[in-house]
Structure 1
Amino acid sequence: MYQLYYYPLNASMAPHFVLEALNVDFELILVDRKNNAQKSKDYLALNPAGRIPSLIDNELVIFESPAICIHLAESNPCANLIPKVGDKLRAKFFQWMMYLTNTVQAELMVYFYPQNHTTNTALAPSIVSAQENRITEMFELLDNELENKEFLVGQTVTVCDYFLFMLAVWADEFKKPPLAFHNLAKYLCNLAKHDAIITVCEKEQLSLLDYR
């Protein structure tokens, strides 16, 4: 049975979506960020990066949200959450996964933690403002990509979609949030009807009213 070390609405949300979509047995183990439990001795022994999430698959321990998502998809090929080897869409899948995690998520981390990116804390508000503009441009790129598309890659839901939904949730308080984009909003509202997303949002206490 899988064990996912998580915190609500954290980077563990995407793996949580994937586990629910796979309809497999798994256990959620709360890592209390409010008390810095991710920096505890016990957790660091599991994940030396001291970040959430971590996944235990038998004796295998994996950290980094996209790596966990891809591992789960590869380990459960019948679910078709990742294009198979030899499928021309597989390269596009990895393109968008890298863009979502290495670009969009990375820039969101600067937005949320500006104090970690300057030695002058007075500059933090300027960093936040600049980051919001940068990330909004990224959502515009994704909005263009999603024109006349139900999913980011191919004709069925993949890990990319669950990952993008998580990032969109994080940006819902932007001046121009993801739901303000025509194609992106339609896409997100469609994903919000999926059982895996409904179940996870109930467990992590996120209302989906805005997506109806």
Structure 2
Amino acid sequence: MESSLYQLYYYPLNASMAPHFILEELNVDFELIIVDRKSNAQKSPNYLALNPAGRIPTLVDDGLAIFESPAICIHLAENHPSSNLIPKVGEKNRALFFQWLMYLTNTVQAELMVCFYPQKHTTNVKTVDNIIEAQEVRITEMFNLLDRELENKDFLVGNSISVCDYFLFMLAVWADEFKKPPLGFSNLSRYLRKLAKRDAIINVCKKENLSLSDYQ
């Protein structure tokens, strides 16, 4: 399976960023297809035929369409076991890998979505600012937990890069304008700056037009 052609339907700096990192890390043949969120292209009939949730990203692998960013990342990692981007079945770290990936997706990412789209979580527009403020406090506590976890560690799980690290880097980028951004934590900052030197992250950030100057 090492030479598959993948198609990633993406939009810059969206949840497609983590799968984009993984594809670059794997150094496989893939095609990027932009889904223009500005024109609501993710709700178009053609896109909905691939992804009925109408969200970004979608990965097409030999005719199989997969949505949900973490599911895509796991699929890619398991398609390329030699990459070691996911611990193998039977390894102790596999349970920790899923623990942290679920924490990043079900907790941190989910709370970020409430923070960024507060109007979807209230029927009273006057409460939007309160939601944003409360969410930032909650999410900052989550980054504090991750900062403690990363003490004396280069990677979130085990001794080599995994999907979890790329997923966390994406979420950190999203939160970079918080009062205390991820780079404001000592362990998290060290960790993110080291990740930012990886070719996969450099290449994706060039393609998605994100400056890494803050991470240098």
> Does the alignment pair 1:164 with 2:162?
no
Correspondence for 2:183 among 165, 169, 179: 179
> Does the alignment pair 1:85 with 2:59?
no
Following the alignment from structure 2 to structure 1, what is the Cα–Cα distance between the partners of residues 62 and 201?
25
Residue 32 (structure 1) aligns with: 36
Name the TM-score, length of structure 2 as normaliser: 0.98
Following the alignment from structure 2 to structure 1, what is the Cα–Cα distance between the partners of residues 176 and 47?
30
What RMSD over aligned residues (CA atoms) do the two structures have, in Å?
0.3
Following the alignment from structure 2 to structure 1, what is the Cα–Cα distance between the partners of residues 158 and 204?
24
Superimposed CA distance per residue, residues 86-132 of structure 1 (whole angstroms, 9 cap, x where no aligned partner): 00000000000000000000000000000000000110000000000
Unaligned runs of 5+ in 1: none
> Does the alignment pair 1:42 with 2:54?
no
Correspondence for 2:157 among 153, 156, 163: 153
Residue 22 (structure 2) aligns with: 18
Q: Report the Cα offset of residue 59 of structure 1.
A: 1.6
After the TM superposition, which parts of structure 1 deviate over 3 Å for at least 4 consecutive aligned residues?
none
Unaligned runs of 5+ in 2: none
What are the within-5 Å matches in structure 2 for residues 17-166 of structure 1? Answer: 17-166=21-170
Superimposed CA distance per residue, residues 12-55 of structure 1 (whole angstroms, 9 cap, x where no aligned partner): 00000000000000000000000000000110111000000000
Local SS of the residue matching 2:59: strand
Local SS of the residue matching 2:9: strand
Following the alignment from structure 1 to structure 2, what is the Cα–Cα distance between the partners of residues 60 and 151?
31
Q: Report the Cα offset of residue 140 of structure 1.
A: 0.0
Query: Identity of paired residues, percent?
Result: 76
Following the alignment from structure 2 to structure 1, what is the Cα–Cα distance between the partners of residues 91 and 201?
26
> Does the alignment pair 1:2 with 2:26?
no
Following the alignment from structure 1 to structure 2, what is the Cα–Cα distance between the partners of residues 75 and 60?
13
Name the TM-score, length of structure 1 as normaliser: 1.00
Local SS of the residue matching 1:132: helix
Residue 178 of structure 2 aligns with an amino acid whose one-letter code is F
